[in-house]
Amino acid sequence: MGRMSRRAFTLAALSTVVTASTVATAPSAAAAPRWPRARSEMRGVWVATVSNRDWPSRPGLTADEQRAELIGHLDRAVRDRLNTVVFQVRPTADALWPSPFEPWSEYLTGTQGEDPGWDPLGTAVREAHARGLELHAWFNPYRIANHTDLTRLAPWHPARRHPEWVVPYGGKLYYNPGLPEVRAFVRGAILDAVVTYPVDAVHFDDYFYPYPVAGQTFDDDDAYAAYGGGFPDRAAWRRDNIDRLVREIAAGVKLIRPRTRFGISPFGVWRNASTDPLGSDTRAGVQTYDDLHADTRRWVRERWIDYIAPQVYWNIGFAAADYTKLVDWWADVARGTGTRLYIGEALYKAGAAGQPPAWQDPAELSRHLTFAAAYPQVRGHVFFAATEVAKDPIGAMARVVADHYGQPAGPPR
């Protein structure tokens, strides 16, 4: 059976069992990296490909140039004694591997759908493992494009073939999470990569329903009329749509590769305590539960995911969202659940113009790790992002390495 037909067979089987949230117990197709060292913790870095943020440096590089840049990021991770690379492989309903579901990403060649002449995800997995790194494949489930012109997409793009799946909002295009056929398609597109490659984890970030845009409405009226019966309001229905995708992806990953994990890195505030007594002592303008319809606390408490890496992208002492208060809150949420807790760190703010004085201090991030070390629930950190790891303008990453990463460590399992 060829690779494409094997994919079709596996994903066809998943279409029934995943919906029922069934988890198989078959052995994994590939062993995870072995770490003989006693100490283990997450030391991760995000490599963002959307808009060529971290890699490749620009579209249109040759295959050899792209490969060299990617391997450079892996080598820098090893240099800084990191152990995990979170590689964005589906930035805008496209693919950084030869997917039968979606076109090649425009961020490779400059033209969506154009074959770059090599396999970035396959190479990333192979080269990461050769260096003792884990490779977490990072997918954005619903974003289609950072513009609203369907005709700019590749001619065979699923969004052009199914415009009824698409919602324009905030100057971008999104798949409608309220349509069961969208959820099935997104599930298949993501799990194809898990079928094809021995990735160590599937990773989502903070984008579910889009961040609110003042004066605009996400138009899902027809989907709500068709599928929203039985829910107390639209918000509850939307949360259920996201919950379903999370559960189904989790089940699919475990069915295909039981040793591969599923993790999510949400915006750092679930709800403010002023909104919900279970929430954090924060005054954030965005709350994932209410605004993105992502019940991140529930995913941890009910063990739907293997790890959570909240983006606690604020400094110690920041009035509206203090790093220390959020780490304390997330540690309490994770306590006793078995869900691993890693903290997402805003390396990109270190030394950046317009950031508060705390972020001009090279020691700020190191203090984050020192503080979090007091919590046994915190099993490591992930840094945003690879460009800043490489450039490290004020030496904040070098300070973290010197203070906390003196010896190599394996990722927690």
Q: What is the pLDDT of residue 355?
A: 97
Starting at the edge strand found earlier in the chain, the sheet holding 172-175 runs 143-145, 172-175, 166-169
d(CA 152, CA 141): 20
Burial class of 395 by CB neighbour count within 10 A (0 to 12, 13 to 18, 19+) = middle
Which pLDDT does position 412 carry in this prediction? 81
Q: Do the beta carbons of residue 345 and residue 382 sit within 8 Å?
A: yes
CATH 3.20.20.80 for domain 3-23+37-139+176-207+234-404, yes or no, is yes
Residue with tokens 């390495």: 401
**Per-residue confidence (pLDDT) for residue 411, from 0 to 100:** 87
48-79 tens-digit pLDDT = 999 999 999 999 999 999 999 999 999 999 99
Q: What is the pLDDT along the chain (413 residues), one digit of tens a residue?
A: 444 455 654 566 566 545 544 333 333 333 434 444 447 999 999 999 999 999 999 999 999 999 999 999 999 999 999 999 999 999 999 999 999 999 999 999 999 999 999 999 999 999 999 999 999 999 999 999 999 999 999 999 999 999 999 999 999 999 999 999 999 999 999 999 999 999 999 999 999 999 999 999 999 999 999 999 999 999 999 999 999 999 999 999 999 999 999 999 999 999 999 999 999 999 999 999 999 999 999 999 999 999 999 999 999 999 999 999 999 999 999 999 999 999 999 999 999 999 999 999 999 999 999 999 999 999 999 999 999 999 999 999 999 999 999 999 998 87
3-state secondary structure of 213: coil
DSSP output for 178-217:
T-HHHHHHHHHHHHHHHHHS--SEEEE-S-SSPPP-TT--
pLDDT on residue 381: 98
Burial 126-138 (b: 16+ CB within 10 A, else e): ebbbeeebbbbbb
Domain ranges of the chain: 3-23+37-139+176-207+234-404
Please write the tens of the pLDDT for every residue from 276-315. 999 999 999 999 999 999 999 999 999 999 999 999 999 9
What is the share, in percent, of the chain residues with pLDDT greater than 90? 90
Cis peptide leading into 385, omega within 30 of 0? yes
Confirm if 188 and 99 have CB atoms less than 8 A apart.
no
pLDDT for position 33:
42
Q: 59: which 2 tokens?
A: 């579209």
Residue 19: CB atoms within 10 Å: 17
Residue 341 phi/psi, 5-degree rounding, is -115, 120
What pLDDT sits at residue 7? 63
Q: What is the dihedral angle through the alpha carbons of 279, 283, 286, 289, rounded to the nearest 10 degrees?
A: 10
Residue 32's pLDDT is: 39
